[in-house]
Copies of this chain bind each other. A is one copy, B any other.
Amino acid sequence: MSKPLFNKLALIGIGLIGSSIARVARQEGLAGTISAATRRKETADEARALGIVDEIGTDNAAAVRDADFVILCTPVGANAEAMAQIAPHLKQGAIVSDVGSVKQAVIRDVGPLSPQGVHFVPAHPVAGTEHSGPSAGFPELFKGRWCIVTPIPGSDRAAVDKVIEFWRRCGSDMEEMAADHHDKILAITSHLPHLIAYTIVGTATDLEDDIKSEVIKFAAGGFRDFTRIAASDPTMWRDVFLNNKEAVLEMLGRLSEDLAALQRNIRWGEGDKLYELFERTRAIRRELIDAKQA
């Protein structure tokens, strides 16, 4: 194993993502010491019992003391408060990053709170499961998955490269892009699919009780895939939708129009139009297979 990239890594938040980072960082020897802080004492106790970090408590300021790399692993909506708490305690030259699924809002809310002499490098590991909490994490979560870094104009290049190196050693494929571009791409590839899954499962829960129990029973016909997506962390996803509002509403607008057109095709028995769409969407799957993303 090579020399640790960082002397001390501090994780603010130790849920699915934070605890997976802790596990892979230790496994790959990426940090000399790993400390963590979390809001709830119960979560800290759970993480301590798992033995995945060297120090853990509920005090964010204590966790970042002497750390040269800090990762905010909190829901997007909680990042600014976390940064405000740790800012006065950050070491000069420290790098602060995050894992948020939205980047413009994080840059807008967290960036200005970053002290002089500290490098803020926003990042987004595109990885997750429908499970939450410290016990849900595992070291392979980021393996072969994209991690997108969205540096702020004028960022220190060495700091950006070090964040990229960290994630590469966690197993991620790295990509660098502008924050607004990231938010648009993720709105369609991730945020909209989650929103739709939440909606359709919600629609089903509102059905009359006798039908509802059979929806559970016969879920294997397609509905089941949606329930998995719709079991994702509620706080995280609430924050995503509120913080990527513009791009999500834009994509949702397009989807609603397309859905209305399809509804009309069905009502008027326009089979040719349905067939044409279904052929077109099938081709996308082939492109995905060719791009080795399937």
Contact = CB atoms under 8 A, between A and B. Distances in A.
Given A189-B219, A217-B293, A203 B282 contact: no
Contact of A293 (B186, B203, B207, B224): B224
Contact of A186 (B192, B221, B275): B221
Interface string A243-282: 0010011011011101110110011010100110111111
A167 B200 CA distance: 31
A284 interface: yes
Contacts of A193: 200, 221-223, 225-226
Contact of A203 (B185, B188, B226): B188
Interface residues of A, number: 91
B188 A204 contact: yes
B288 A255 contact: no
A147 to B, nearest CB: 11
Given A184-B211, A193-B221, 11 more contacts: A189-B223, A193-B222, A196-B259, A198-B281, A203-B255, A219-B293, A227-B284, A238-B271, A238-B278, A249-B267, A256-B256
B291 A230 contact: no
- Copies per complex? 2
Interface of A: 77, 126-127, 130, 145-146, 148, 184-186, 188-207, 211, 214-232, 234-235, 237-239, 241-242, 245, 248-249, 251-252, 254-256, 258-260, 262-263, 266-267, 269, 271, 274-275, 277-288, 291, 293-294
Nearest to A231: B285
A249 B248 CA distance: 25
A234 B126 CA distance: 31
A293 B190 CA distance: 25
Contacts of A229: 222, 225
Contact of A284 (B145, B230, B235, B249): B230
Contacts of A285: 130, 201, 227-228, 230-231
A231 B222 CA distance: 13
A242 B269 CA distance: 6
Contacts of A254: 203, 206
A105 B216 CA distance: 24
